[in-house]
Amino acid sequence: MPDSAPQRFPGRPGDWVLYKDNQLIAFNKPAGMAVVPDKKKSANLLQIGAAYAHHDLYPIHRLDRPVSGVVLFGKKSSAQASVSTQFQERTVTKTYLAVVAERPEQDEATLVHYIREGKGNTSEIVDQSDPASKRAELSYRYLGSSDRYHLLEIKLLTGRKHQIRAQLGAIGSPLRGDTKYGFKRANEGKSIDLHAYTLAFDHPISGARVELKAPLPEGVVWEAFGGIVGL
């Protein structure tokens, strides 16, 4: 059944557009919105974006529902295939910003864990010997602190389900609001403070490097870090 009380999101679809041409369109997805239709049958960016663009859209990558930031769609299946191949070949670069309550012991490090799918739509850290496990690697860098929280820059080196969430939880620095991975309290609207900040790829026609940046979400926690990231 559809959600009885649809969630409201800031602004209008046109306000979320970060980039568009005849091949591609990118949005700054609000936290709490699904990228594609799911069993909850609630608002999703694919359908909202297609209605805004008056054009069928083709998903290239996804973000978890509670996460905000850059999401790219193809306007043509050929554009979708081209950029999807870049994701597979790891020539796409992605940067995330993460707000955590516990500052990691090291200000900069590369994390390597082994992850498998867990119960209740989670991923769990397991031993490398587990036959169902997949290697997960990311690098992080401490950027600064507010009165209560700390900001990390995250670069994914692999792309596993809930990877950032599980790996930060494993080192004792769960994302603010992420009760699945160790934070004590949920955020309003069940969002988590993880933002897909930048995305860079080669344009499927021109080959030119396209670099996209998504403004930070609204709210006092993110606003406290605006000066740190130059916004």
Q: Based on the residue annotation, tell me whether 178 is a catalytic residue of this protein.
A: no
215-229 pLDDT, tens per residue? Answer: 999 999 999 998 887
Residue 32 lies in a domain: yes
Indicate the average pLDDT of the chain. Answer: 93
Give yes or no for residue 41 having a pLDDT over 90.
Answer: no
CA pair distance 59, 71, nearest whole angstrom: 9
pLDDT for 6 equals 57
CATH number of the structural domain spanning residue 210: 3.30.2350.10
Residue 61 belongs to what domain range?
13-220
- Judge whether 97 lies within some domain: yes
Q: Is residue 88 part of a domain?
A: yes
Q: Which of 15, 38, 56, 64 is catalytic?
A: 64
Task: Give counts: helices (H), strands (E), the chain.
Answer: 5, 11
**How far is residue 35's CA from residue 78's CA, in Å, rounded to a whole number?**
20
Name the band, by pLDDT with cuts 50, 70 and 90, for residue 230. Answer: low
Report the domain count for the chain: 1
Cα of first residue to Cα of last residue in the chain, in angstroms, is 40
